[in-house]
A and B are shown apart, each in its own frame.
Chain A
Amino acid sequence: MTFLNATLLFGSLAAAVPVILHLLNRSRFRRIEWGAMHLLEAVIKVNHKRFQFEQWLLLLVRCAIPVLLAMCLARPVLTGNSLLAGTSPVSLVILLDNSYSMDATAAGVSRFEQAVAAAVAIVRNTTPGSEVSVIQTGGIPTPVFDQPIFDGEAMIRRLKTLKGGYGASDMHQSLNAAFATLAGMTHARRELVVISDFQPSDWERRDIMAATIQQQFAAMNVKPVLSLLKVGENVTGNVSVESLNFAHRPLGVGEPLFVRANLKNHGPVAVDNVRVTLTVDGQEAGVSQVSLAANGQTQTLFTVAFETAGSHVMQVDAATSDSLETDNVSAAAVMILDQINVLLVDGDPSSQPLKGETDFLSVALTPYSFGRMKLSDLVKTTTVTADKLTAEVLADARVVVMANVPKLKDDRLSILQEFVSDGGSLLVCPGNRIDTRWYNDKLVTESRLLPAAFGTPKGIINDQGQSAHIVAQHFDHPALEFFNEPANGDLSTAEIRQWFELKTDSDLRSGFLEEKSQRYRTTQLSDVEPLPAVLARLDNGDPLLVEQTFGEGVVIQMATSCDADWSDLPMRPFFVPLMQQLVTTMATQFTPPGNIRTGEPAVAVFSTSSVEREGDQSPDDGSLPPADFDESGRSLSITTPDGARRSLMPTRQGRRMVARFEGTQQPGVYSMTALDGRSIHFVAGTSREESRPGMLDEEHMTTLAADTQASVVATADEYLEQDRLRRHGQDVWKYVLLAVLAFMFLELVMQQRFSRVRT
């Protein structure tokens, strides 16, 4: 028990007044010579003890009245058994839900605005010296400031600028982040406030979360007080554009792309005539109208063709008037390739049609040109002989195919090596003319350009019974993913009559994809030890395609020839897509994904020329301030979904410049603009789990609170009230006042009652 106005407790000195009055009364007595003493004595004798007791009791009650009154005025507060915090500073962590479901608007106020208002109120009411950290839970947990700060006003200013609409909250991660932050904070009093709309999808793993929290609690010396602040009203009915589906393969200019938009109605009422619009780079490219049954899903298909190369953004809008507008839009970035120059080095040229080593390949890579169709091919091939392989012809090429080249001169080889290590791609196909010893010595042992040594040729060219087949398996490599779909052709139908055994000195790995994605996300390209990976095997276990990075580039080694001499691959229908996929994948493998999840870095790779050459000139758009230029005078700018523009320093990696932008927590379109005016768009997407408009009901909230040892509050005021109770305890002056009244009444009753006599 403490007192808010402790000085008023001096008023309890008034307790002396009844005592003084009593003593005064006794000392100023009257003396009476009394006759009827025998009557008086009898009364005194019988009741003396009782009178004395009653006197004391009465005196006690009379003394208690001023004491209680003083206590009442001193505003007593009950604090229970807990440690008295009073006005001591606090370490406060607020988990602020800024996921897009918080954009749901009711009565003109969005949940996020309510949440920010609550957070501001809580921060404003912290005691001086408190440290505060606000962690936004949308997408990946992101603290507003990197470190907890002691300046509440700065936090409030920052809070007011925050915007919602981030990805779905990962409450588990957020709680872990919050506990980690709390553990590093200084004050003994710790508070954790979760401000959220408490969507069921965020709290599906309640039991795990509760276990985590309890574990965290157990591990902590100072247990934080956990409060759950629920904002927003429950809304019913929401239509969301769940996702856009389209084939993720390299696209050329004018190639049609089928985009399937998945729409979902989360409400119990059917929604009719939803106008769905597809826009490409802000221009309307297609409209359709759909109807959605209650809780139903539907798809709508758009066909788009892109007229220019480069990065484009497609966006699908569903025009509904639900309270949550953020999820009525879904966007995707598409990279349209201009032209891929492929240099075919023919080791066995022939003047007859289709007899040359690279003829089939050339046809397969440029089917439209070969068929004299209107459409332009994505790939442009140039065929040279081995001795024509010079730096000049390599300059424009992105992929080089060495088909049955016996050997290269040393200077040619060094040009080729430089080409690959600078980021070029090399496809090596053996044949009957190759010098396996030269390959193994120069390319495998010496320079490690090739992933595997050529062993002994296997199989017999003309014996079809001895032929091997490609193992039909699930392909992880992006170049072969296409064939995971059986309709796109069956690789196992091809007969490989003769092939080289490819021997690698280390274990061949197939974990290509993980390695690659890992490389983009975490480390520099050159830090990764190049390891050969097998893309496809023959049914006798020999590798057919082996891939390895070399410098900045990539090398794929085939075990058989690319013409019809050793296999019937070129005769198969899938030869065209196979080669197209291989070549385009190799050419575009350093095009990092344009569609990322929130929180993943947006990475763009530029050729040095597009940065460097332009960098020498002054930037023509003039939008970049000079301060953004580093000492070499190169910079990029990135526009985030909320319209903010930031400059970005690319880093040089070989022949390429790599620009990374980490701050992609907000879903939406990020546009990276190079100095030459070209833009690369990224779309940070998020799961649509939060589109389901439900909120945890009272019962679930109570269970959640019980599981997490938290208290549920409805408003910031309620939280502050509870906080005040925890700090100062419960205000009990009303009860004390009642006690005063009760004692006054008691005094009256006692006075009346005590003048009665016992007989």
Chain B
Amino acid sequence: MSHVHDVLSARDISKFVNLQVLARQVVEGFCTGLHKSPHKGFSVEFKEHRQYVPGDEIRDIDWKLYGKTDRLFIREYEEETNLRATILLDSSGSMKYSGSRSNGLTKHQFAIRTAACLAYLLLQQQDSVGLVTFDTRVRHYIPPRARPKHLQAIINQLDRTQPGNETDLGDVFHEMVSKIQRRGLVIIISDLFGDIDQLLKALAHFRHARHEMMIFQIWDPDELDFPFRQWTQFASLEQTGNEHLVDPTQLRKAYLQKLGEFRDQLAKGCSRHRINLVPMTTDQPYSDALAAWLGLRRKSK
């Protein structure tokens, strides 16, 4: 049986323990927590007073105010809900890539650690976390739970996941939209390789379902600067037999340009749908990147 500490070092965990994940928008919550909810109800955080109308609960009347003003007001509180976060982990073949500068981690391993961190973090603050692993289609779906034991289930699943197959983000995401019925935070950990138009459509679909979106895009440094010199046969990690023998020096500029276009398109699409896109490279400590993002997230609240 896997243990949390297999994937998270004590140091990693200590880094996240004081951080809080806050959803930007109000998400429907199951249990009250730090997250604001549009549902007014039993809560400690005062929101506003309103005039009593017949039919309102008598116990909601602010009697102290009645004593002062001689009028009946209803005291309203904001509901604190639990965040329902679903982590979508890309397990496609392209995540198998491991460059020379990534400390021996494949992108997928990096993604697993990131996912574990997030799961741990969210469960720590009583939010519910679910996990979806997918490649061409959804492989495993663990619905969100807020119990601390749930972490074990997620980590077990993460540990078992092996990358393979092709990516088809569009179809998977469409499928997931129907599965995640309650609004919440959708965290996608992927390299997002694939057809960008379809991807953006799928993301728009998520947004349409009023989910808050956060994408951790995992890059290997090699993919960003294409450092190859000698003749290289590039073999696709996803499709066997798709091989190209090329002179990388000749391609480098073209590749980088193409890469720039891709990232630009993605960034624009994400900002259009108000999706937080966080590029991460496998050579930087994933915990640092995660912490930096979470800090940024809190600031933007």
Contact = CB atoms under 8 A, between A and B. Distances in A.
A39 B248 CA distance: 13
A32 B232 contact: yes
A96 B195 CA distance: 92
B230 interface: yes
Secondary structure at the B interface, as helix, strand, loop or mixed, is mixed
A221 interface: no
B93 interface: yes
Interface stretch (A42-50, A337-345, A488-496): A42-50
B245 interface: yes
Interface residues of A, number: 30
Interface stretch (B111-119, B204-212, B252-260): B252-260
A512 B249 CA distance: 106
Interface stretch (A157-165, A305-313, A558-566, A749-757): A749-757
B94 A37 contact: yes
A35 B97 contact: yes
Contact of A755 (B220, B252, B259): B252
Interface string A35-61: 111111111101100010011000000
Counting contact residues on chain B (CB < 8 A from A), the size range is 35 or more
A365 B239 CA distance: 143
Contacts of A41: 242, 244
Contacts of A46: 254
B235 interface: yes
Contacts of B107: 35
Contacts of B254: 43, 46-47, 756-758
Given A29-B230, A31-B233, A757-B254, A38 B244 contact: no
Given A42-B258, A755-B253, A757-B257, A34 B231 contact: no
A34 B251 contact: no
A372 interface: no
Interface in B192-245: 193-195, 220, 223, 228, 230-239, 242, 244-245
Contacts of A754: 250
Interface in A9-33: 25-26, 28-33
A36 B232 CA distance: 14
Contacts of A39: 193, 255, 258-259, 262
Interface in A45-91: 46-47, 51, 54-55
B230 A37 contact: no
B264 interface: no
B17 interface: no
B246 to A, nearest CB: 6
A47 B191 CA distance: 25
A38 B238 CA distance: 10
Nearest to B163: A35
A32 B262 contact: no
Nearest to B251: A43
Contacts of B96: 33, 35
Nearest to A756: B253
Contacts of B242: 37, 41
A33 B97 contact: yes
B45 interface: no
Given A40-B255, A755-B250, A34 B236 contact: yes
Nearest to A47: B254
A7 interface: no
A523 interface: no
A759 interface: yes
A756 B233 CA distance: 21
B247 A55 contact: yes
A18 B25 CA distance: 63
Given A30-B230, A40-B255, A759-B257, A35 B250 contact: no
A36 B231 contact: no
Nearest to B219: A36
A25 B238 CA distance: 26
B110 to A, nearest CB: 12
B95 to A, nearest CB: 7
A337 B236 CA distance: 128
Given A29-B232, A755-B250, A36 B244 contact: no
A30 B233 contact: yes
Nearest to B98: A33
A30 B96 CA distance: 18
Interface string B85-122: 00000000111110000000001000000000000000
A26 B254 CA distance: 20
B218 to A, nearest CB: 10
Nearest to A58: B250
Given A37-B238, A38-B193, A43 B255 contact: yes
Interface in A541-597: none
Contacts of B235: 31-34
Contacts of A26: 231, 245
B34 to A, nearest CB: 37
Contacts of B228: 30, 32
A27 to B, nearest CB: 8
A389 to B, nearest CB: 128
A40 B193 CA distance: 12
B223 A35 contact: yes
A44 B251 contact: yes
Contact of B231 (A25, A42, A43, A47): A25
Interface of A: 25-26, 28-44, 46-47, 51, 54-55, 754-759
18 contacts: A26-B245, A28-B230, A29-B230, A33-B96, A33-B235, A33-B236, A33-B237, A34-B234, A35-B96, A35-B238, A36-B94, A37-B236, A37-B237, A39-B258, A41-B244, A43-B254, A757-B257, A757-B258
Interface of B: 93-97, 107, 191, 193-195, 220, 223, 228, 230-239, 242, 244-247, 249-255, 257-259, 262
